[in-house]
Amino acid sequence: MDERLSDSLVRRGAAARFLADLGNVTVAVPVLALVLVYVAWRARATGTDHWWRPAAGAAALMAAVPLWVVPLKELVARPGPAIMGPGTGFYPSGHTATATVAYGAAALLLLPWLRGAPARGAAVCCAVVVNLGVGAGLVRQGYHWPLDVVASWCVCAMLLTALGRWSRPRSRTTDGTDREVR
């Protein structure tokens, strides 16, 4: 099924290549790095307890991407679309994972610093649209099967959910323990 679907979707071109390239480490990681610096600076400047926690969590999550993608690629050893030639290591998509973690974590970290629901909604919408574009670009260029992309989205959704919970603001209770602030 993946092969039939992919064959009907592959239409190489400049737009698809541009979208796929947004998942490159050289594009996605600097975007996240800028957000990490901004969020850490804002949190520290406002005296937020554990100001470093969200940025450190997002950086660790980004650094962990190859630690789970590469072993899964080796374990599954799935060949790619015919246009990519012989070889394995296409499942899950590393470009999709990189983009999803970088742009998703950037949006998550910016949410507490954005004023109003429209701004927060726009940040989330931008992250989703960019990631959908990366996935579409990878499939349209024939770099990945659709399920390679979907698999990375599924794993990254769980990881970003964990990051969101871990990086929520906390406050100290009278007995010295941390309590989540809502």
Distances in whole angstroms, Cα of residue 58 to Cα of each of 21, 44, 133, 181: 21, 16, 22, 19
Whether residue 140 contacts residue 12, with contact meaning beta carbons closer than 8 Å, is answered with yes
pLDDT value, residue 19: 97
pLDDT value, residue 64: 97
pLDDT value, residue 173: 56
Of 67, 43, 68, 69, residue with least CA distance to 55: 43
Written as tens digits, the pLDDT of the chain (182 aa) is 566 666 677 778 999 999 999 999 999 999 999 999 999 999 999 988 888 999 999 999 999 999 999 999 999 988 888 788 888 888 999 999 999 999 999 999 999 999 999 999 999 999 999 999 999 999 999 999 999 999 999 999 999 999 999 887 655 556 655 555 44
Distance CA(144)–CA(2), nearest Å, equals 10
pLDDT value, residue 56: 95
Distance CA(7)–CA(11), nearest Å, equals 9
Distances in whole angstroms, Cα of residue 173 to Cα of each of 50, 52, 111: 14, 20, 24
Q: Which two tokens stand for residue 130?
A: 């960019």
Phi and psi torsions of 36, nearest 5°? -60, -45
Number of H helices, E strands in the chain: 7, 2
User: How much is the pTM?
Assistant: 0.88
The 8-class DSSP code of residue 88 comes to B
Distance CA(48)–CA(11), nearest Å, equals 49
